[in-house]
Amino acid sequence: MARHFALRHPPRSRLMLAYGDAFPVFIAGFEPASALPYLADVAALEAARTSAYHAADAPALGPAEFGGVDPDALFAMTVQLHPSARILVSHFAIFSLWAAHQQALAIAGVDPSTPEDVLVVRPLLDVEVTRLLPGGAVFITRLSAGASLGAAATAAIAAAAEFNLTAALHVLVATGVVTRLTPCRGERL
């Protein structure tokens, strides 16, 4: 499959950094791989990891910065996400399949048809891949578009009634995906 891709999509630059970005789309249309409908999304996860690895550096906010925020003001704040942040939404178990391939999970327990959403981010040296709970992708996607934490939470609840705000906030802090919190009045923290 990779050989067919390379023949149809030769590199257009001497910089190989982005070469293969179109591979997931190619896989989705590659007839011999049609029995593995999740394969294109797993390839997209790998491409997101490569992209995150080469993204710009930025200092991530940690528990201390979040802990210093007045809880009554938190939901009116907006965030800036780390330049390496990537969100993938899939109809397939892309995180579990990827983790099994990394030998971090047993493949026997993976149902490929289970939808999973993933956050990919590299706040420090290593690229981290985190499986998001229901509504988590909507929450972080809305934040990346400039929505306040409260508005993003409302959208996530509308998308997934089982959305867990506490777990979603934990993901923001634990993964280092946030680089700045901004109160509504425009002050920076």
pLDDT in tens, 65-97: 998 999 889 999 999 999 999 999 999 999 999
CB of 104 closer than 8 Å to CB of 128: no
Please state, in angstroms and as integers, the Cα–Cα distance from residue 96 to each residue in 57, 77, 114, following that order: 28, 33, 9
Is the Cβ–Cβ distance between 24 and 47 less than 8 Å?
yes
pLDDT digits (tens, 9 = 90+) for 152-171: 999 999 999 999 999 999 99
pTM of the entire structure? Answer: 0.90
Q: Which two tokens stand for residue 112?
A: 């490929």
Cβ atoms 77, 148 nearer than 8 A: yes
* DSSP letter (8 states) at residue 108: G
